[in-house]
Chain A
C-alpha cells in the first residue's frame, strides 16, 4: 500500500529569476512548473537545479500549433531540457491522434497531459505512449479512487490502495472481526481501537476511508459519515499473528466521539519517566520557549534573549555553533552533547522569534527525502 502526496505548483507564467523558483519551492511544493516561452530562463533554471537538485522542475508546453509556447516538437530542445535536469513535461491542449502518439513516443521524458476531459476519454489519454498522468479539474467533488480502480480494471496502471494480504488469510474472532489500532500518521498518537469485518476491510481499501463494523449497532460504520471526522488511510499493517491491524490515518477533527483527539485520554496510573522521544522532547522544549515569549517570566534567560532581540539571538547561535566545532575535536563526547544541547536551545529561541516550528523543519526534511 503506497500513500502519496505531492504538490505541483505553478508560480506564474513569468518566472524570470532563480529567486522565483526558490520562493516557490520554499512553500513546500514538490515541483515548480514553468511554462515554456521564447524567453525561457534556462540559466535561472540551471541555478534552481544546482540548488534544489534534479527533477524539481517541470516545463509546460502548449500543443496548439498557433501558440507561442508550442515548441514541444523540437526533440533537440526537449533533450536539452532533460540534460538540464528537468523532471517531466506537461502538455496542454492535446488532440489525441496518431501524430501526437508519435511525438510523445519520441519524447525523452514522461509527459503529463493537461486536459479538461470534456472532449477526450481519460483511458485513451493515459494509454498514450510516455504519458505518466493527466492533470485535470474534471474530478472536482468526485471519488477519484473509484475512477482509478475502474481504470486499473481496464489495464491502466493507476495507483490504487491494494492489500498484500487478503482478509481470508487474517485471523478473525468468532464473529469474523479483526481489531484495528488506529494511529495519527504524523504524530503516531494512538487515536482509537475499532473492529473490521471483511466487508468493512474491503470498503476501506476501495474508498481510502476507514470503515469499521459497529458492534453496538451491528452495521457497517464509515468513520466520520455523521460527524465529518473522517479518517483517510495512509497505511495499513498487520501484526505477526495476522490477528490485529494497525492503521495510520489522516484524521479530520477528533477521533473520539467525546470530542477528544484520542479515545485514550483517561489516565489510569502512571509512574514518572523521562520521555526520550526526540521530537516530543524538542517540541515540549519549543513550547516552553514559546510560552516564555507569550508570558514573560522575571529572571528568565529566554526572556533576556527575546528582550535583546534577533541580533543577540543570532550572535548566541553563532557562538554555540563555534563551541560545537571546538567540542567535536575533543575525544570526550560528553562535551559535544552538552554543546549541541546548548545550540539547539538557542536555535529554538531563534525559531520562536522567527515563527518557525519543528513541524516546519520536519516537513522540509521529509519533503527532501521524498524528492
Chain B
C-alpha cells in the first residue's frame, strides 16, 4: 500500500497525499459578526512530508487541521487524501491534541488499543499494542490509569494511540504546547523518529518557531482576519538539525520577520558580548 514514488526518486510517497483546494470557512456567532476563519486556502502536501502550520492565534491553523481531520466541513472548496474527498473523520487521519485527551477510565494499554477495538480488529493485533508501548518506553505503566501519568508520558500515550491504526496522516494540534522546555525537545526527537520509521505524513500546528524549523520540511506561515496562507518557507536542512546552526538562526529570523516579530535591519545594533 505504501511505496516510494519511483519516477523522481525523491522521498515522497504515493500514500498520505493531502490536497487542499480553495477552502473557505466562516463561523457566524450570535452577535451577527461573522468570523472569516479561513479564506481561499490552497496547499498540496506530499506523502510522507512534515508540515508545520504557524501563525498568531485566530489565523485558522487549528480550524484547518480540524477540516483535514474531518471534524468540521468547509463552506466551499474541498480537501482530499490520496484522491478521496474528506467527508468525515477516519482512522486514516490520526489526531493528537495539546491536551492528551486520554480516556481516564482506561489503562495505558487499553487507551492505545482503542483504535483496534473500535475497528473490531484487536484480536490477533495485541502484539502491536505492546510494540507501541515499548516504543514510547512505558512498559512499566501498561496498567496505569491516565491520572497517574506525567504530562510527557500522557502525550506519548496519546501519540501511540493515534499510531495504532497506522494512519496515513498524523494531525498534531500543538501536541507539545503544555510540556516544559526540556521534555518538549525530547518529544520533538521522538516525533521525528516516529516520522522517520513510519513515513507518515505529519501536519503539525505550533506556536514555536524553533520547533517548526527543527521538525518540518516546510513551514506554512498563516495570518489572521481572514485566515490565509501568508508564506510557505522551505527548510532545506538535513536532519538532525543543530539548533545552534547559523542557517537555523537565519531561517528563524526569516519566519519571525514574516510574522512581524523581528526587524530586518539591525546592522547598527551591537551588544559587545
Question: Does B associate with A?
Answer: no
Binding site for A on B (CB under 8 A): none
